[in-house]
Amino acid sequence: MPIKSRIRTIPNYPIEGVMFRDVTTLMLDPVGFRKTIDELVQPHAGVKIDKVAGIEARGFILGGAVAHQLSVGFVPVRKKGKLPWETISKEYDLEYGTDTVEIHKDAVLPGENVLLVDDLIATGGTACAAIDLIQRAGGNVTACSFIVDLPDLGGRAKIVARDIPILTLCEFEGD
C-alpha cells in the first residue's frame, strides 16, 4: 500500500492554483497511519534522539506518535501566542507576509538531539524557523522527517544546505 495513494489532493485550496495535499485521509486509514509512523520511526531507531519536535498542527499528531515510539519527549512548535509560558520565537517569511513560531524556552536543553517532524515540506520556511529555534535553545537537529515533499518549492534544498539529513516518504510535483 503506497502511502502516496492514501493522500487526498484538494485543488484550489487554500487559494486558487494550489493543490493541497491532505494527509488527514492517510491518518484515517489505520493501516496507512501505522505504516507512516513506522516509516518515520525506523530510520531513527537506535539513534541518540532526546526529543521529537512537531510543527503545529499535523506535526503534533505525527511527532507525538514518533516520540512515543522512540520513547522520548515531545516539543510542540506553535504559532505565536499559543504557548502558556516563557517562549523563544522566530519570525519567518511566507509567500504573502510573515508568521512566527515559538517553543517554550526550556523545551530543548543544551546538547539535546532533536528530530523535527511535520506532515509536509514545501518552501521550508516553517521548518527552517523551527530548526533555528531548536538551535537557539542549544539543541542539535539530527534530522527532519516529513510525509510529503513538494520538491518544486525548494524546502528540501534549504534543509540539506544546513547539513541536516531529511527523510520524506513521498513527493508530489508542482505545488
Active site amino acids: 58, 95
What's the one-letter identity of residue 128?
Answer: C
Using the 8-state DSSP alphabet, how is residue 55 labeled? E
Cα dihedral 135, 82, 11, 7 in deg (nearest 10): 70
Question: CA–CA distance from 22 to each of 12, 14, 66, 129 (Å)?
Answer: 12, 11, 19, 22
List strand residue ranges (DSSP E) for the chain, in order. 8-11, 19-22, 51-55, 73-79, 87-94, 97-104, 113-121, 140-149, 166-171
Q: Which three cell numbers stand for residue 20?
A: 493541497
102 close to 82: Cβ distance less than 8 angstroms = yes
Taken in order 78, 82, 87, 91, is the CA torsion positive or negative?
A: positive
